[in-house]
Structure 1
Amino acid sequence: MYYHLLKLLTGLISGFLFIKFFPVSIPMSISDMIVIFVLEPGGFFLGMIFFIIAFIANAEMIRSAIELTALLVKYKKTHFFELMLSLLIIGSFFILSAISLWETIALFCFSLIYGIISLDFKKLKFAEDYE
């Protein structure tokens, strides 16, 4: 349970730092973006480091939320507090979207795709050929 809380806080704090360090203003053209990244490489580098940390932590929370929800639906039992902590990732994305919507959408898309890709359907026994 503490591990899920740590991942939730890591994803939230890293997402916040990604938004603060990544220099983006809307509307922005590709040439403006390249100039900003060349003139401010430190902000770009730190933003990308925090983006990677945030999207991996959030993807793990999304994966565990899907797995725990599937176990609840299939077997009618699960660790309730771990499930609630995993579902709090939705609130984390709402908090980040209040700060900056477009960076949060990018973070959410990457996290969701990676979280779904990392699911193990054989572990959940949803695959028919599982023995």
Structure 2
Amino acid sequence: MLFHLLCIVVGFLCGYLMIHWMPPVTPFHFDYFITELIFNPLRSFLAMICFLIGFLANAAVIRTIMDGIILWLRRKQVRWGEWLISCCGASGSFYWLFQWEAKLTALFFIFAFIYGMISLDFHRSRDYKRNL
């Protein structure tokens, strides 16, 4: 459970830093966006690193949520506390990130969701009871 809390905090902080360090996209001008990325290479590099780390951390949380749903549908034992913390933490994190910058957060969420769904291991979920 502590791992999932850490993933939620890391995902939120990396998302916030990524939004803060990226050039503004709200009236999106491609020339201005590319110029800012080129002339501020450190900020651009740090924003990309935060994007990568953040979407991987959020993907782990989304994978836990989807694992819990699949196990519940198969009528197997689910760690409800872990699942509830993951659901509440991920929804709260993305809610606040959407309040700051909707377009970048949508991109951040889409990457995390797709990678979280790809990384689901259905064979492991069959052996879930042995891991308890």
Instruction: Deviation per CA, 1:43-98: give whole Å up to 9, x if none.
Output: 11111111011100000100111001211221242111100111121221111000
Q: Provide the aligned C-alpha RMSD in A.
A: 1.3
1:117 offset after TM fit, Å? 0.7
Q: Does 1:71 align with 2:79?
A: no
Residue-by-residue CA offset, 1:90-130 (whole Å, 9 max, x unaligned): 221111000111110010000011001111122234xxxxx
Structure 1 segments of 4 or more deviating over 4 A?
none
Note the residue ranges of structure 1 that are not aligned, 5 or more in a row: 126-131
Aligned residues: 125
Structure 2 counterpart SS, 1:63: helix
Q: Which residue of 2 aligns with 1:19?
A: 19
Q: Is 1:23–1:43's contact at 8 Å kept on the other side of the alignment? A: no
Q: Any stretches of 5+ residues in structure 2 without a counterpart? A: 127-132
Contact 1:18 / 1:51 at 8 angstroms: preserved in 2? yes
Partner of 1:104: 105
TM-score of the aligned structures, taking structure 1 as reference length: 0.89
Q: Is the 8 A contact 1:65 1:87 kept in 2?
A: yes
Counterparts of 1:112-127 in structure 2, within 5 Å, are 112-125=113-126
Q: Which residue of 2 aligns with 1:90?
A: 91
